[in-house]
Amino acid sequence: MTRPCYVLKASCTDTVGIFLRVGDGDRVHFAVSLGPMVQTLTRAMTTILCRGLNGAGLQEVLAVPPDFVPRIAGAGLVRLRSQTVYYVLSRMKTAARMLLDRRNGG
C-alpha cells in the first residue's frame, strides 16, 4: 500500500523539490526535481542520495551523518562546486522528520 507523498520545495537561485513517499514497512522512496540552473555535479550527487536512501527506513534517513556528502564525493570537490547537495540531504532528512512528527502527534 502506498501512503501519501510529502513535498518540500524551495527556491534560491533555482528550484529544488523533494518528494517523499512511504511504502510498505515504512520504507521511503525519494524523488527530487531540480531546476535548469542546477549544476551537473549536484544532479549526480542528488541521484546518488536518492538511490542510496530509497528503500531505507525513516530512522535510517535521519541517521545519515552530516559528513556523508564529502565522504562520497570528496570535500574539496563539493566545497568548490556545489553546496546545494548539502541542502538536498538536509531537506530529505527534514521530510522524514516531519513525517515521523506527524505520526507521533507533533
What tens-digit pLDDT sequence spans the chain (106 residues)? Answer: 444 444 555 545 677 888 999 988 889 999 999 888 888 888 888 898 899 999 999 999 999 997 887 777 776 666 655 677 778 888 899 999 998 898 888 6
* pLDDT at residue 11, as a whole number: 47
Q: 47-51, long-range: CB within 8 Å, 24+ apart, which pairs?
A: 48/72, 49/85, 49/88, 49/89, 49/92
The pTM assigned to this predicted structure is 0.76
* pLDDT at residue 28, as a whole number: 94
- What is the grid cell recorded at 21? 513517499
Query: Both ends of the chain: CA-CA distance in Å?
Result: 24
- Between CA 33 and CA 10 the distance in angstroms is 11
